[in-house]
Amino acid sequence: MRLMIITNSYPSYLGHLYAAQPELGSRSYAEQKVVLDSDFFAWADSWSVALTPLGYCTSEITPNALCMQRAWCDENGLAFDSTLPGLRKTVVAQAQQFRPDIIWFNDYDDELLKMLRTGLPSLRLVLGWVGSAIPPTEAWHRMDLILSCAPEAVAAMGNAGFPAEHFPHSFDPRINSRLEAREKNRALSFVGHLMRLNQFHLQREELLEALAYVVPLDIYTPSAECGWQDEVKGLIKLGLTYGVGLLREFGASDPFLKTLPILGIATEWSTRYVRPANPRLKPFFRHPLFGLPMYQAVQDSMATLNIHADSSPHFASNMRLYEATGVGACLVTDWKENIEDIFVPDQEVVVFRNGEECREKVTWLLDHPKEAAEIGLAGQKRTLRDYTYAHRAELLHRIIGKALS
């Protein structure tokens, strides 16, 4: 069975990786892929390794890794075009060369998926992927089955008429062999995005504010790289949305507002803009970490926080659950209805229901490093026993078999 996985990486991750290794972009496609895979960002080549024993031949494509795509084009006699239409053509050419039976499309580009479906006679099944927040895209209509880590998203997709199935995240044990075992040099860490939009991270931000001035906290986030230009743009957009809102309160209609210069633009925005980074949290921001440096920082922490997105109000489902426990960190995570189905609360992970309880438990853990380390090791034992890619590969194989039958 030939499976192609198509996944865009965070542009900020790719930027950091290639900036740290300036010569990487001039190397061959295969050499660049080895470097990306060995950094273990997101899925990397973990599915290839886990699915090979089950009879799969797997290929991973990263459409927005421009240096890699340029190298592939050079090696295959194609002209490289970095525009979106050009990148789509490159991905289609890669797929036609590989001839997949199955595509796992971890992206939302409807036009690309349309091109793949029409240009691949070998294709028998298209799987999709979505987290807890569901972006609007026509691509959902072109997928045979959508997998999601979040039960909320599975239910929402089903209600919208799309076939969907729950498929939890995993951990790759190979990561531990790449980390340095050393003394804890951080107290409490948080790694992740702080998108100040509905359905994303408003509750996360609120909790971090409650902790930041009480316990030692390092926040590793892309928000740390917001400069004064981003602040100015955010303030301008905030002013525009405030102005539109005020005029609406005074009875101005949207057709009228759209005729106004500058202000009319803000009527099309689906959400109220805010400053790109919370000024109260800025003193605790550290530069974002991805891949192995992220895993190392989490392992080096006496405790590490996990706070689900606002779009996951009921169920524990995100990747950090398995990333943190997999490397043996003491994970402090928000309570969800299903947490006891995944870990034993306060034995394998530490669970909190509100900000006050979180502060109390974090303070206790930092005062009791031995107990925190024991919880971390118990969580790691559970993840390595039950939640690796090898375990999930068996489930994926059954899902694929059922979908193809």
Could you give the CA distance from residue 343 to residue 327 in angstroms, rounded to a whole number?
15
What DSSP letter does each residue of 35-46 carry, written as one string?
A: HHHHHT-TTTTH
The DSSP 8-state label assigned to residue 348 in this structure reads T
Concatenating the DSSP letter of every residue in 300-342 gives TEEEEEE---TT-SS----THHHHHHHTT--EEEE--TTHHHH
Q: For every one of its 405 residues, what pLDDT tens digit does the chain have, with 9 covering 90 and above?
A: 999 999 999 999 999 999 999 999 999 999 999 999 999 999 999 999 999 999 999 999 999 999 999 999 999 999 999 999 999 999 999 999 999 999 999 999 999 999 999 999 999 999 999 998 888 899 999 999 999 999 999 999 999 999 999 999 999 999 999 999 999 999 999 998 876 655 556 788 888 988 998 999 999 988 877 754 555 455 555 566 656 566 666 666 777 766 767 666 666 654 544 555 677 888 999 999 999 999 999 999 999 999 998 888 899 999 999 999 999 999 999 999 999 999 999 999 999 999 999 999 999 999 999 999 999 999 999 999 999 999 999 999 999 999 999
Question: 194, 223 in Cβ contact below 8 A?
Answer: yes
pLDDT score recorded for residue 310: 82
- Please give the pLDDT value at position 125: 98
Question: pLDDT at position 397, please?
Answer: 98
CA 353 – CA 351 distance, rounded (Å) = 7
Q: Are 142 and 120 in contact (CB under 8 A)?
A: no
User: Do residues 285 and 277 lie in contact, with contact meaning Cβ atoms separated by under 8 Å?
Assistant: yes
pTM: 0.87
